[in-house]
């Protein structure tokens, strides 16, 4: 069967041949792989695309595994073939083809929401066991409605899978307090590139555990994660305030993230916007609700090309009296130096707050800009470089905006576990910079090629200026670039690869290692 498949993979480029294949082939492949799930080698188009829309590939087949057993079988099957690769696809929200496998096997990991989640009593609290393909939005709804508990660390948008974000880091406005999502899991079940199913944690198979966290899918496929949870608050007060000066914005944001719990907000983020009335890039992007009255007078007093918005949130319960919440908020905001008359706020449920980007997704889908290309760029920039980054990048290269959010907010390195695979800039405080570009086919805007070039220009500016930075959700094409990215972690990364995926079967779309070709 493997010989047959290889013949198919190598020789069959034509639609005519594809059409000759039928249900029988799928069933023979299922048998050869000992699959209980399904295999589809016809409707594979979606697995050859991703949210970025910049890269395309043609997978040989998409497999919907029915469980860990199927995933192990697929990997073992691929390892017996001369050159098949396997990519786990979470929700395909990568930008640069990271979840693709050209002519390889794509495992569609996304699980249905009714898969169920178990609450586990842990030494110091509680955790939940969730599937690697579960969407975070389902994890949230399930945990809150069933147990009144919630994971502690999030991403801004929750239509992402547990395995997909844990393979990167998973950051948002709670990261300053709890660390990234990778710092909030205590145990994983992983199917390695050897086809072994292994339970790992910081005390059991710890090298595998830490290599998989932030490991860009290189060492194994996460089939289950044990995620720390805490009691979920009922409500959130979500607040935005505006700054004209970057140094005041960063000083205030840094003071908030270094205060102890109870002395600060529960969520701290920020973004840069254009000092104009442009509905997408300018002042209106600060509003939290369409009904908010908006008076741009305070912002028109400044001739800076860009302004800064600090975004914070405070958790509370329905039982808390509103004056207590008002007093806490006033006290915390009272220490900050934002511009007068630029405070916007709404109260909403905790679940609605965490699902806030879902609304933006609906609008973007309605406007047709969810499915167009997204040449996004994400960086971690050290505190020592962030002022110059503002001067050279925000105020110059990006002074007209990017058609979407330009996030910038500080996080603390000590909340990250340095044993994980993620590489960070030096120093305790560094910034996440997320340039979330949307391209509108109905408006005159720069071509996607120009936007990709602008991203390169930004990276080159960082390199030339000697900034201390790392790409988040990295994308490189050469081994030298990957070596440079990982720095002194590279040899360890290579060693882990040779231990857990020696034939380089997994996650070929990251373009870090090349599948050992046994047919040569
Ligand atoms: P995919 O894109 O499908 O996969 C990503 C990589 O992980 C691939 O290499 C894949 O092979 C591998 N992989 C997938 N599943 C598994 C698994 N179970 N085991 C092992 N490897 C696996 N990131 C943040 O940190 N914070 C944010 O706020 C944030 N917001 C976002 C908002 C949007 C609209 C989008 C599109 C992305 C956002 N991201 C954010 C980035 C996101 O975390 C990454 O793109 C992530 O990889 C997407 O998850 P996914 O489930 O779609 O994974």
Give the whole-angstrom CA distance, residue 83 versus residue 503.
9
Ligand 1, residues 93, 159, 362, 370: which to mutate, most atoms within 8 A of Cβ? 93
Residue 293 neighbours by CB under 8 Å, 6+ apart: none
Minimum CA distance residue for ligand 1 atom 40: 155
Least confident of 8-12, 300-304, 434-438: 8-12
Q: How far is the CA of 17 from the centre of ligand 1 (A)?
A: 34
pLDDT at 154 over 80: yes
Give the whole-angstrom CA distance, residue 509 versus residue 469.
23
pLDDT tens across 183-215, in order? Answer: 999 999 999 999 999 999 999 999 999 999 999
DSSP letters, 163-177, are HHHHTT---STTHHH
How confident is residue 335, by pLDDT bands cut at 50, 70 and 90?
very high
Give the whole-angstrom CA distance, residue 458 versus residue 92.
25
pLDDT, mean of residues 298-302: 82
pLDDT, mean of residues 25-40: 83
Two tokens at 229?
């949870």
Residue in 21, 129, 156, 347 annotated catalytic: 156
What does the longest C-alpha to C-alpha distance in the chain come to? Answer: 73
pLDDT tens across 96-122, in order? Answer: 999 999 999 999 999 865 566 888 988
pLDDT, mean over the chain: 92
Q: How far is the CA of 504 from the centre of ligand 1 (A)?
A: 20
Give the whole-angstrom CA distance, residue 37 versus residue 53.
28
Which residue in 509, 404, 513 sits closest to 101, CA to CA? 509
Which residue in 230, 184, 192, 227 sits closest to 212, CA to CA? 192
Q: What is the predicted pLDDT for the residue at 123?
A: 77
| Coarse DSSP helix, strand, coil percentages of the chain, rounded to the nearest 5 percent | 35, 20, 40
How confident is residue 16, by pLDDT bands cut at 50, 70 and 90?
low
pLDDT, mean of residues 266-284: 96
Q: What is the predicted pLDDT for the residue at 97?
A: 98
Minimum CA distance residue for ligand 1 atom 47: 164
Residue 489, burial from CB neighbour count under 10 angstroms (0-12, 13-18, 19+): middle
Residue in 252, 266, 269, 311 annotated catalytic: 269
Give the whole-angstrom CA distance, residue 130 versus residue 127.
10
Q: 167-180 burial string, b = 16+ CB within 10 Å, else e?
A: bbbbbbbbbbbbbb
118 vs 155, residue with greater confidence: 155
Alpha helices for 122-245 (secondary structure H): 136-147, 162-166, 175-178, 206-212
Minimum CA distance residue for ligand 1 atom 32: 157
pLDDT tens across 205-247, in order? Answer: 999 999 999 999 999 999 999 999 999 999 999 999 999 999 9
Two tokens at 482?
């990957």
pLDDT at 15 over 60: no
Q: How far is CA 488 from CA 389, 430, 464, 468, in A?
A: 25, 19, 21, 15
Q: What is the predicted pLDDT for the residue at 293?
A: 73
Residue 93 annotated in active site:
yes
Residue 224 neighbours by CB under 8 Å, 6+ apart: 68, 129, 130, 131, 132, 188, 189
Ligand 1, residues 160, 212, 371: which to mutate, most atoms within 8 A of Cβ? 160
How confident is residue 322, by pLDDT bands cut at 50, 70 and 90?
confident
94 vs 517, residue with greater confidence: 94
Give the whole-angstrom CA distance, residue 304 versus residue 395.
8
Q: How far is the CA of 167 from the centre of ligand 1 (A)?
A: 7
How confident is residue 298, by pLDDT bands cut at 50, 70 and 90?
confident
Which residues have any ligand 1 atom within 6 Å of their CB?
Answer: 51, 87-94, 98-99, 109, 132, 155-157, 160-161, 163-165, 167-172, 216-217, 221-222, 473, 507, 509-510
Radius of gyration of the chain (CA): 23
pLDDT, mean of residues 142-157: 96
pLDDT, mean of residues 332-340: 96
Q: What is the predicted pLDDT for the residue at 8?
A: 46
Residue where the block lists tokens 């958790």: 315
pLDDT at 10 over 50: no
Q: How far is the CA of 137 from the centre of ligand 1 (A)?
A: 13
How confident is residue 161, by pLDDT bands cut at 50, 70 and 90?
very high
Residue 269 annotated in active site:
yes
Interstrand relation of 105-108 and 61-64 (parallel, antiparallel or unpaired): parallel
Q: What is the predicted pLDDT for the residue at 118?
A: 83
pLDDT, mean of residues 274-280: 94
The percent of residues in the chain predicted with pLDDT above 70, rounded, is 93
Which residue in 2, 457, 431, 504 sits closest to 250, CA to CA? 431
Helix (H) or strand (E) holding 469: strand 469-471
Minimum CA distance residue for ligand 1 atom 16: 163
Q: How far is the CA of 180 from the centre of ligand 1 (A)?
A: 13
Helix (H) or strand (E) holding 25: helix 23-33
249 vs 5, residue with greater confidence: 249
CB 193 within 8 A of CB 505: yes
How confident is residue 294, by pLDDT bands cut at 50, 70 and 90?
confident
Task: Name the phi and psi angles at 177, rounded to 5.
Answer: -95, -45
Q: What is the predicted pLDDT for the residue at 342?
A: 93
Q: How far is the CA of 163 from the centre of ligand 1 (A)?
A: 8
Q: What is the predicted pLDDT for the residue at 11?
A: 45
Two tokens at 66?
């029915």
């Amino acid at each position: 069967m493997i010989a047959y498949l290889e013949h198919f993979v190598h020789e069959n480029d034509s639609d005519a041949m594809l059409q000759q294949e039928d249900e029988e082939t799928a069933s023979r492949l299922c048998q050869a792989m000992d699959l209980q799930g399904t295999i589809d080698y016809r409707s594979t188009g979606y697995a050859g695309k991703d949210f970025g829309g910049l890269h395309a590939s043609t997978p040989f087949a998409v497999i919907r595994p029915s469980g860990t057993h199927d995933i192990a079988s697929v990997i073992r099957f691929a390892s017996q073939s001369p050159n098949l690769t396997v990519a786990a696809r979470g929700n395909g929200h990568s930008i640069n083809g990271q979840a693709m496998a050209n002519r390889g096997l794509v495992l569609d990991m996304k699980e249905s929401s009714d898969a169920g989640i178990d609450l586990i009593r842990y030494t110091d609290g509680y955790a939940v066991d969730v599937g690697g393909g579960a969407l975070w939005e389902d994890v949230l709804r399930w945990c809150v409605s069933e147990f009144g508990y919630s994971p502690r660390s999030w991403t801004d948008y929750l239509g992402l899978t547990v395995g997909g974000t844990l393979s990167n880091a998973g950051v948002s406005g709670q990261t300053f307090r709890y660390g990234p999502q990778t710092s909030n899991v205590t145990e994983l079940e992983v199917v390695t590139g050897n086809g072994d199913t292994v339970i790992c944690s910081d005390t059991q198979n710890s090298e595998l555990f830490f290599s998989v966290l932030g490991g860009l899918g290189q060492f194994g496929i996460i089939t289950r994660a044990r995620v720390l949870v805490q009691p979920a608050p009922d409500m959130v007060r979500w607040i935005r305030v505006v700054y004209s000066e970057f140094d005041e914005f960063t000083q205030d944001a840094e003071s908030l993230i270094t205060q102890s719990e109870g002395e600060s907000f529960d969520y701290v983020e920020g973004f840069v916007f254009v000092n104009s009335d442009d509905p997408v890039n300018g002042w209106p992007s600060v509003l939290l609700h369409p009904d908010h009255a908006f008076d741009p007078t305070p912002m028109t007093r400044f001739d800076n090309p860009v302004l800064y918005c600090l975004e914070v949130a405070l958790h509370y319960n329905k039982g808390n009296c509103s004056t207590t919440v008002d007093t806490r908020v006033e006290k915390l905001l009272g220490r900050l130096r934002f511009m007068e008359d630029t405070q916007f706020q709404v109260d909403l449920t905790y679940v609605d707050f965490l699902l806030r980007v879902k609304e933006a997704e609906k609008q973007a889908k309605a406007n047709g800009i969810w499915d167009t290309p997204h040449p996004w760029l994400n960086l971690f920039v050290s505190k020592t470089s962030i002022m110059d980054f503002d001067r050279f990048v925000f105020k110059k290269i990006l002074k007209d905006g990017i058609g979407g959010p330009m996030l910038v907010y500080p996080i603390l390195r000590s909340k990250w576990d340095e044993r994980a695979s993620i590489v960070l800039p030096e120093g305790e405080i560094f910034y996440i910079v997320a340039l979330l570009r949307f391209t509108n086919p109905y408006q005159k805007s720069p071509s996607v090629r120009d936007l990709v070039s602008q991203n390169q220009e930004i990276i080159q500016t960082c390199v030339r200026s000697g900034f201390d930075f790392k790409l988040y959700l990295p994308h490189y094409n050469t081994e030298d670039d990957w070596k440079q990215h990982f720095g002194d972690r590279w040899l360890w990364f290579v060693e882990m690869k040779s231990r857990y995926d020696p034939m380089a079967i997994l996650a070929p779309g990251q373009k870090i290692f090349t599948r050992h070709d046994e047919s040569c």
